A and B are shown apart, each in its own frame.
Chain A
């Protein structure tokens, strides 16, 4: 069966009653099949009106879960969201960005999901809708591990909410892969920095992906950055080995664990410098 609900309510009801597999862009659903046939029951979310669109509200920017990466990349958004938009442009290829959605990226919960670090670095939350209503979770409380989220089987991710608190800051996203396009991140980082009146860092968010089962914030480093001015420092001097010690990367075909840690440290340093440059521009 193939259902094509046009409203979120209908989708929630179908999911509860029929229990099919949700598909948005399909860019994770189909590759996961390898050469197996399509699942018997699919609920296509691409026609649900409520999942579409990006709206700038009073307190938060609401990105419909069904927003495709190309839509996010093209949208006019405050500069604090530059890291998210940069990530959007780094997801796979034009083809993947034209289909893949931010909601699918979060629900699929790959450790290498490029959407997660920028959202962590923006204190973003998500909204889940199920038969029993709506709930909100911070992204860090939603993405729990490798392919693990806090989503109940009968819930649909409806939107990503980005508080406007950090939107005036500067942000940067850096992704490291073994080739230019269509590459799963070896490691990626997102940084948001808000300058204070004294010209020093007043608020900082640093998140690293692909170096642990779920992307992580580097809280210790964030705290230490407050009140500093990174200008003139070398990337490696901004970040200590201890700052990344909480990460737990793995060895795989893409890189060794030791390399991931080393590269994360360098990239975080670079992203701090880049975000700071944007913040002061």
Chain B
């Protein structure tokens, strides 16, 4: 029998050791908090994500499901020890890096540990075995393909694939420059690397969708709970108890006052010693709830006489967006055929594997926040308002971000820890639990969409009439952006002469819906791209050729009347799919012609376009680049890398523009004290906007160096220790840097350049140039459906994307594969129902067994405004996947799915309704 304070002997990463810790505590907590092995990640504390995987006597287990005492006498290996502790660890790390298998990297430790166990005991590994071995680790970024490849590579190294080097740095498959810490477990995410004395904060949250509440004797409760230092409520917020990503719409309180408007809204926070706060049962917190009738769903919020979620929003309409061109009635009347449909989508959870986390500390009259975020300067400004201090008094130091996808644009832990650290003068940290993250952070908007489309007999689109309502939850978040972006995009990437699109963001008593890869466009595409198929088929036309015929070109105007002039590679994307389409359609039809059981196959296509950057609003990025006296070049790059790769891509662009090798750059990553504002990592804007600023800054510094050397524009620049050599033909000039004066940032020469994409405001009919650059793309999905069970398996996706210029094809493929995986989730399995499924076993995202091989085809139709012609691809990659899958289901069965996710029960019911397959 073992008793509590005893020390336990075990072998940790090859070292025999004795560790005194609570034997009943989760091994994951002991490893991280007591031993300091923070490479073991906690994504769910429930066995669902595998991020905490460690080896116990060589077998992978979830550390979060293992009591510390259970490993007494055993050998434990964490990611920190796999190089020495497993035979394949070192090869795996190298392969993961080379293959681009770590994006945000939060899943990487679990992947590495699981893969090492598999390879070590498998003489001849194969893909199916790898998938079985990795089935317990979720990745939300990569779509798994590159991880599987990396594991197979580690088993049988095939030689580096990155060899192809065409001389340029832009265009090269550079493995991520910030990748090493992601594969060795040292990367610091929001929950890592807190100062030892950091207090822990937990929020007290509403169990009701809507309720009035009264707080009881808080001081009495605090006094009764040793270790609790403070209880904070609305009264403790020094500044404005309100925040929001769009300043004009800021409406969300840090702590609710009097009434909560969604389940999970915070009413108070408790702060204290970590162990004491972790042990608290907050069910006993003194708060009395009086539940009120809640408006859940669009119908409830739009009903006559419905209560108002926000007093200043009549009819619960937060905002309306509209784009209109031509005469829709006439256009539809002129059509030889029209089709109409109604479609519905649900709340979708971002389900990044890193729950929100971070710590804040007060430094004199300033506050510093190290937390995961996608938008450091927006965080800075909102935290300043909440604390009632100047923005310059706030320093935001983004940690590595374990996935964002839009939701980490909004504040989460920041206002709580800022208020607490400001008040208490001690560092305060907070880590959302998985249920807390799912319950309270923004979601993809559920959409209810209605659309009518018309075309002439020869297949030319005449008109589109679209209206969409989006459930934006209790607070504004990015609701206005969705309502404005969708009407611009509802034509799809096609020329439509007569057009009307209206969207509304509707307030309800659900969790706020915000930004999620595509800002409403993926939901819209589920409707528009399926109706295009209906229309084409009704006219007896091939769905792909119908799209090619109508594709936007550089000359045809968009729905807002914008003529792109260049960089409209839509046709090229569709045409690139032609051979794949012919093969896939024929293969599916052959399969079905001979199928006797319940399996059927289908192939479907869908197109996409997406404007990069804010809609008709200024969204500048500023890059600083400087030559240091030691001959190194510092790139101040404030775009937060949330896994998508901006740390690498922006550096590639800067190096190319400057004309130096990548290795000459020292990266200074986002920190509001060190990097100028590069805006938010969203709207697929970083490669385009920040990339362009980096190009301009690189060119400016190049010009300055050449000027100093008195050299012509084609001279070569080579940086060496303490000097720069400028070579022009035979001439070589060496600049000794040691003797030169430096500016206030410590640079001998520096450049700072800002780029703000040229756009124009939209008029009352939504006409104008909302974006400077658009990404285009099309996906071909091949599926197999079990008609007796309604289950769908995606067999293959071919994705063609016009990225303008592929700055780093390796990273772009990663974005595409990850987007496809999320598109599969949207199409087939993901829906968050408020109050239910607040964990990762009820809320299902695709596992390594659910994502098929993805073939990426890159089209480079350069956008003049982009750096070297480059456009964004982050969101683009997700948009066409779901409608392509749904069109494939129709091809296979004749069933038109109007509500996603197309879960087995819905598909089966639909098939029974069709009659044929019952």
Contacts and interface: CB of A to CB of B under 8 A. Distances in A.
Contacts of B61: 95, 98-99
A163 interface: no
A31 B65 contact: yes
B837 interface: yes
Interface in B1-42: 1-4, 22-26
Nearest to A44: B70
A179 B844 contact: yes
Interface residues of A, number: 52
B849 interface: yes
B908 A35 contact: no
Contacts of B138: 182
A256 B903 CA distance: 10
A3 B791 CA distance: 46
Contacts of A31: 45-48, 65, 841
Interface in A122-181: 176, 178-181
A14 B833 CA distance: 43
B842 interface: yes
Interface string A12-33: 0010000000010111011100
Interface stretch (B128-136, B235-243, B326-334, B892-900): B128-136
B136 A186 contact: no
A265 to B, nearest CB: 9
A272 to B, nearest CB: 14
Interface in A99-117: 99
A263 B789 contact: yes
A182 B436 CA distance: 21
A9 interface: no
Interface string A235-265: 1100000000000000001111011001100
Interface residues of B, number: 67
B520 to A, nearest CB: 24
Interface in B200-225: none
Given A39-B24, A179-B846, A182-B48, A95 B136 contact: yes
B537 to A, nearest CB: 28
Contacts of A92: 47, 136
B269 to A, nearest CB: 15
Contacts of B829: 178-179
Interface in B47-89: 47-48, 50, 53, 56, 59-62, 64-67, 69-70, 72
Given A183-B844, A255-B905, A95 B62 contact: yes
Contact of B69 (A4, A5, A37, A94): A4
B801 to A, nearest CB: 26
- Chain B: interface secondary structure? loop
A1 B4 contact: yes
Contacts of A96: 47, 62, 65, 136
A24 to B, nearest CB: 10
Contact of A4 (B2, B790, B837, B848): B2
Contact of B45 (A3, A27, A35, A98): A35
A4 B72 contact: yes
Given A1-B3, A235-B788, A263-B908, A93 B135 contact: yes
B278 interface: yes
Interface in A178-197: 178-184, 186
B71 to A, nearest CB: 10
B2 A2 contact: yes
Nearest to A251: B905
Contacts of B23: 2, 4, 42
B576 to A, nearest CB: 30
Residue of A34, A37, A46 ringed by the most chain B CB atoms within 10 A: A37
B1 A4 contact: yes
Contact of B50 (A1, A34, A44, A93): A93
Nearest to B68: A2
Nearest to A33: B45
B909 interface: yes
Nearest to B62: A95
B135 A182 contact: yes
A38 B790 contact: no
Interface string B367-381: 000000000000000
Contacts of A253: 833, 836-837, 842
Given A2-B4, A5-B1, A27-B65, A181 B833 contact: no
Interface string B824-849: 00001100010011010110101111
Contact of A30 (B2, B65, B789, B904): B65
B905 A99 contact: no
A70 interface: yes
Contact of A94 (B24, B135, B790): B135
B281 interface: yes
Contacts of A23: 67, 70
Nearest to A93: B136
Given A39-B24, A253-B833, A263-B908, A99 B66 contact: yes
Given A3-B1, A31-B47, A259-B909, A180 B69 contact: no
A203 interface: no
B439 to A, nearest CB: 12
B593 interface: no
Contacts of B908: 259, 262-263
Contact of A46 (B48, B70, B912): B70
Given A37-B279, A180-B850, A259-B790, A2 B67 contact: yes
A35 B355 CA distance: 13
Nearest to A5: B1
A29 B774 CA distance: 50
B788 A181 contact: no
A95 B904 contact: no
Given A35-B435, A99-B61, A255 B903 contact: yes
Contacts of B278: 37
A95 B4 contact: no
B849 A266 contact: no
Contact of B26 (A38, A255, A256): A38
A70 B59 contact: yes
Contacts of B637: none
B48 A178 contact: no
A25 B50 CA distance: 15
A70 B61 CA distance: 11
A109 to B, nearest CB: 17
Given A35-B435, A37-B279, A94-B60, A182 B67 contact: no
B815 interface: no
A176 B791 contact: yes
A26 B833 contact: no
A96 B136 CA distance: 8
Contacts of A95: 47, 50, 53, 60-62, 65, 114, 136
Given A35-B433, A94-B133, A95-B62, A259 B905 contact: yes
A185 to B, nearest CB: 12
A3 B2 contact: yes
B10 to A, nearest CB: 13
Contacts of A29: 65
A70 B788 CA distance: 31
A255 to B, nearest CB: 4
Contact of B64 (A30, A183, A259): A30
Contacts of B842: 184, 253-254
Given A38-B67, A98-B61, A184-B841, A27 B904 contact: no
A176 B904 contact: yes
Given A179-B847, A259-B904, A236 B69 contact: no
A35 B903 CA distance: 29
A74 B843 CA distance: 31
A3 B22 CA distance: 12
Contacts of B841: 31, 182, 184
A197 to B, nearest CB: 31
Identify the 6 closest CB pairs spanning chains A and B, nearest first: A93-B136, A180-B849, A181-B135, A259-B905, A2-B23, A31-B46
Given A99-B62, A255-B903, 8 more contacts: A4-B72, A38-B22, A95-B136, A96-B62, A181-B848, A184-B842, A256-B905, A266-B788
